[in-house]
Chain A
Amino acid sequence: MKKILIIEDDSFLLELEAGKLKNEGYEIITASSGEEGLLKINEPNIEIILLDLILPNFDGFEILKKLKETDELKHIPVIVFSNLSEEKDILKSKELGASNFMVKSNFTLDELVKQIKKVLE
């Protein structure tokens, strides 16, 4: 079972995302703050990270930075899944190594699953 880490501070969105991905057969671990996210990225065998950007404590960019700086973690693909859409945020995510940038409100959860499968191929 492939393991996905979801870092998302909105509890309702987190519940919906996690529920959908569990139904699709993924193992889900979650973090609801930047601080918790920074701890959970060290869990073994994470295959992909779904990352929100506006988070309490540390934002999503800090997490991307940490992943990029850590040899054992920098191979993990990250899909930024945020409702920010300004160009500066997209470019910064890309520079920090994100595989994709998806504006949540532009996608359905089925489309998110499709994108995850594509990145995992």
Chain B
Amino acid sequence: MEEIEKLRKENVQLKTINENKSDVISITAHQLRTSLSALKWILKMFIDEDVGKLTNEQSELINKAYSSNERMLSLVNDLLTLSHTEDASITYAFEKIDFLKLIEQSLFDFSGETSKKGVELIFLRPEGFLPPILGDKEMVRVIVQNLIENSIKYSNNGGKVFISLKQVDEKIQFSVRDTGIGINKEDKDKIFTKFFRASNAIQKDNIGSGLGLFTTKNIVERHGGKIWFENAEDGGATFFVLLPISSII
């Protein structure tokens, strides 16, 4: 009995430490972003020559500073997500999730991103009933966000992104199809590895940290699911995720 009580106390302590750690990371990220936002806006004013004409050399240097700041921002974003997902000591809170509803809620987050690039986000709602999945809501949201965010990022201006859901045996399949740059054959096996960035992805957007897909795969696997992708013949790629249906009644 004493041993159980000791373990219970330790468990409570560990949970508190984890919560505190999470708060520190969240506050630090917020503060970093505030300073980096100011830098971003000011550098953009120089780039747009709002504050006077630049020489070619000045323009080149300011553009490099802007890119460097963007890389830093991207790293802050990805580390924030990674800190929530890679920590094995964080227990996932598995529950029944209405996947359809979760996607509908997540689409709201992308209104800014899509209008920025003129990309159309199309949710092909499934007909009929879909059983709930078993997952951690916050983590499943990260899966949805990362995949949609990538497809917008690697789409050309005016492109389309299709999101769909369907039941496949005892699992629900979530897929995101884009009309973007696709994935080169030689990068096929490395796409989910930590810090890997495909050469055509760097060309399109040199900002990413190579942590997004790694994090996503990590979460999918902790759910007992599967993630993969296929290239479309007419360009672009489709990412698929299978997550188990909940057996909780």
Chain A residues at the B interface, C-beta cutoff of 8 Å: 10, 12-13, 16, 20, 54, 83-87, 90-91, 94, 100-111, 114-115, 118
In the bound complex, do residue B116 and residue A107 qualify as a contact, i.e. CB atoms below 8 Å apart? yes
Interface string of B24-40 (1 = CB under 8 A from A): 00100110011011101
Lowest 8 A-B CB distances belong to which pairs? A83-B33, A105-B33, A105-B37, A104-B37, A108-B44, A83-B30, A102-B112, A105-B73
In the bound complex, residues from chain B placing their C-beta under 8 Å from that of A12 are 38
The size class of the interface chain B forms with chain A is 20 to 34
A101 to B111, CA, bound (A): 8
Quick one: which of A20, A85, A94 contacts B108, CB cutoff 8 A? Answer: A94
Q: Is there a chain A Cβ closer than 8 Å to B115's Cβ?
A: yes
Known: A16-B38, A16-B41, A108-B41. A86 touches B115 (CB 8 A): no
Contacts of B141 in A (CB 8 A): 87
Check if B34 sits within 8 Å of A83, measured CB to CB: yes
Closest Cβ neighbor of A54 among chain B residues = B30
Chain B residues contacting A54 (CB-CB under 8 Å) are 30
Per the bound structure, the CA–CA distance linking A13 and B31 in Å amounts to 12
Q: Is B138 interfacial (CB-CB < 8 Å)? A: yes
**Residues of A with C-beta under 8 A to B116:** 107, 111, 114
Interface flag for B203 (CB, 8 Å): no
Q: Give 18 pairs: A residue, B residue, CB < 8 Å, sorted on A.
A: A10-B34, A10-B38, A12-B38, A13-B34, A85-B80, A87-B138, A87-B141, A94-B105, A100-B112, A101-B108, A102-B112, A105-B36, A105-B76, A106-B73, A106-B112, A108-B44, A110-B44, A115-B112
